Amino acid sequence: MPQVQEISAATLDTKGFIKEKAAEISQIVGTGVAINALSGGVDSSAVTMLGHMALQERLKTYFIDNGIMREGEPQFIASVFKKLGVNVEIIDAQDEFFNALKGIIDPEEKREAITQTFYKKVFGRLVKESGAKYLLQGTILTDIDETVAGIKRQHNVFEQLGIDPQEKFGYKIIEPLVQLRKDGVRKVAEATGLPASIFNRMPFPGPALSARVIGEATRERIALVRKATSILEAELASVKAFQYMAILHNDRVTGMRDNKREFGQQIEVRCWDSIDARQARPTRLDFGILEKLAARILSELPGVVSVTYNIATKPPSTMEAI
The only residue of 65, 146, 216, 233 in contact with ligand XMP, by rule CB under 6 A: 146
Q: Restricting to residues 149-178, which ones interact with ligand XMP according to CB under 6 A?
A: 151-152, 154-155
Q: Is 234 helix (H, G, I), strand (E, B) or coil?
A: helix
In the complex, minimum distance from the CB of residue 131 to ligand XMP, in angstroms, rounded to a whole number: 28
How many CB atoms neighbour CB 252 within 10 A? 14
d(CA 319, CA 279): 9
Give the pairing type, strands 59-65 and 243-248. Answer: unpaired
In the complex, minimum distance from the CB of residue 51 to ligand XMP, in angstroms, rounded to a whole number: 18
206 in contact with ligand XMP (CB under 6 A): yes
Q: Which is nearer to ligand XMP, 115 or 306 (CB)?
A: 115
Instruction: Give the residue from 296, 202, 295, 306 showing the smallest Cα distance to 247.
Output: 306
319 in contact with ligand XMP (CB under 6 A): yes
d(CA 90, CA 151): 32
The only residue of 21, 111, 186, 226 in contact with ligand XMP, by rule CB under 6 A: 111
d(CA 203, CA 108): 20
Q: Which is nearer to ligand XMP, 52 or 155 (CB)?
A: 155
Q: Which is nearer to ligand XMP, 22 or 153 (CB)?
A: 153
Tell me if the bond preceding 165 is cis, omega within 30° of 0: no
42 in contact with ligand XMP (CB under 6 A): no
Give how many residues touch ligand XMP by CB under 6 A.
Answer: 17
Q: Restricting to residues 262-301, which ones interact with ligand XMP according to CB under 6 A?
A: 277
Q: Which helix (DSSP H) or strand (DSSP E) does residue 260 occupy?
A: strand 260-273
In the complex, minimum distance from the CB of residue 254 to ligand XMP, in angstroms, rounded to a whole number: 29
The CA-based dihedral angle spanning residues 163, 167, 171, 177, taken in that order and rounded to the nearest 10 degrees: 20
Q: Restricting to residues 212-231, which ones interact with ligand XMP according to CB under 6 A?
A: none
Let me know: does 44 contact 199? Beta carbons within 8 Å: no
Q: Using CB under 6 A as the criterion, which residues of the chain lie in contact with ligand XMP when the complex forms?
A: 111, 146, 151-152, 154-155, 203, 205-207, 211, 243, 277, 314, 318-320
